[in-house]
Amino acid sequence: MSAGSKAGSRILIASDDRELNAALAGLLSEHAPAIGAGARPSVLADVTSNESLRLVIVGETSVDSTALDLLHEIKQQRPDVAVLLLSAHPTVEHAAESIRRGAEDFVPIPYSDALVLKEVARILEAAELRDRVENLDQLVATRYGFERVISRSSRMRAVFDRANAASRSDTPVLIVGETGTGKELIARAIHANSRRSKRPFVPINCAALPRDLVESEIFGHRRGAFSGAFADHAGLFVAAHGGSLFLDEIGELPLEVQAKLLRVLQDGEVRPVGGLESRRVDVRIIAASNRSLAEMRDNRMRQDLFFRISVLVIEIPPLRERREDLPLLLAHFLSVIRDRGARHLDGIDPQALDLLADYAFPGNVRELENMLEGLVVVLPPDRATIRAEDVRVWLRRRGAPVGDRTSDATRVPLNLNDLERWAIGEALRQSHGNKSKAAHMLGISRDTLYRKLHDLGLDPELPASPA
């Protein structure tokens, strides 16, 4: 980096005129650390190496200056960096050419301090806004990407495939699964990976809305539409414009509200309670229910609305039907608890894991997470491992039968390498040795199963029992 350069600087001053460099550096010193650089090679080196750089001020004081060439090279190397051109030979043609080559603006020399400060403040403010958006996008993608859904289950692979397909379209989605299976997490992942990811994701629990307010909450209302309506309220459809509206427990909506919802989905217009004019909205609907499809069709919903929102259905299996995910989920939640700094944790005893593997978890993944948080809170200060006796106490308080599975043949491993061996062994046991059925249960082909049996040192010629 050239003399006077500072790593992490947001502004680079590039001019062959030392007096101009010094004057600009002094003027801008209160706004950001500035770098004075003269020769083109050093300027381009700074542009390439300084990731914090957001603005280059190019000073053009001589008639034969190559400022436009430098501008072009800067934009080629760092399109994200703004360039402000200061020229002692301003003409309309020169200004137009500099803008065409990518300059943010053109300022004549001699310049006004106030004008330069205003331009720099505007450019840095826009750059800060872009940085915020990019950071937010990365946070959303990291927090709600499909890879954040912890699973190795073949049943869940089908869920991911359908959710990925849903993220590539604006088709209405219906997510079905028991309480605590992660319906909202899947809905957020669909939104975060869709073209609407930079627009709002608005979740609402339809079962929690007061019956007399549900219509105005979703569709909005006009002032004076009913007692207590002291001001206009836009409603959730308007709040979600351009993004996604997540209607959790959609089957709990009153039938009259369902009829109005169907009209919005068909027409793309929403009319607030007490209003005369409709408003166009562009909203992707993601709905969810803890009831089965049969229950929703028969009892909970208008048939026309059900068929409208169930174009793409994603069914999330309960935790008891994907027990192979239990060790992964336990390791994940224990890691989260450790990262919170609550206390040091070594993990969970294998006997404790055996007990949990026999429990049905009616509250699914959410119940598992809450259970671990509760066990960690009451864990004695001198112990960093959750033991079988801790789990037994928790199970008895829930009235669950407490078994004692301790044999190595039935123990679910926490080690990821052993987990695959265990899952294959369980599939073969449950299928009575029928490799075709075992492969289907595992979500792999029969050839892949044979290959894995060989790789894991298991007998690939294990005889298949009649199914």
DSSP 233: B
> Within the chain, which residue ranges are assigned CATH 3.40.50.300?
147-317
As a whole number, mean pLDDT of residues 401-429 equals 61
Paired residues of 386 in beta bridges: 348
Residue range(s) occupied by CATH 1.10.8.60 in the chain: 320-397
Question: Spelled out in words, what is the top-level CATH class assigned to the domain 320-397?
Answer: mainly alpha
Q: Where in the chain is the domain with CATH 1.10.10?
A: 416-455
What is the assigned CATH class of domain 11-136?
Answer: alpha beta
Task: Give the tens place of pLDDT for each residue, 181-229.
Answer: 989 989 999 998 899 988 889 999 998 888 878 888 899 888 887 877 7
Average of per-residue pLDDT across 380-403? 83
Whole-angstrom CA distances from 259 to 222, 265, 288, 303, 308 are 20, 10, 17, 10, 12
Q: Tens of pLDDT along 47-69?
A: 877 877 888 888 888 766 678 88
Report how far Cα 399 is from the mean position of its chain's Cα atoms. Answer: 37
- The 10 Å CB-count burial string (b at 16+, else e) for 229-238 is beeebebbbb
The CATH architecture one would assign to domain 416-455 is Orthogonal Bundle (1.10)
Residues 6+ apart with CB under 8 A from 157: 151, 443
- Cα–Cα distance for residue pair 75/100, rounded to 1 Å: 11
What pLDDT digit, counting tens, does each position of 105-150 carry? 888 888 888 888 888 888 887 777 666 655 554 554 445 555 556 7
Residues 147-317, CATH architecture: 3-Layer(aba) Sandwich (3.40)
CA 57/CA 152 separation, integer angstroms: 53
pLDDT over threshold 80, residue 341: no
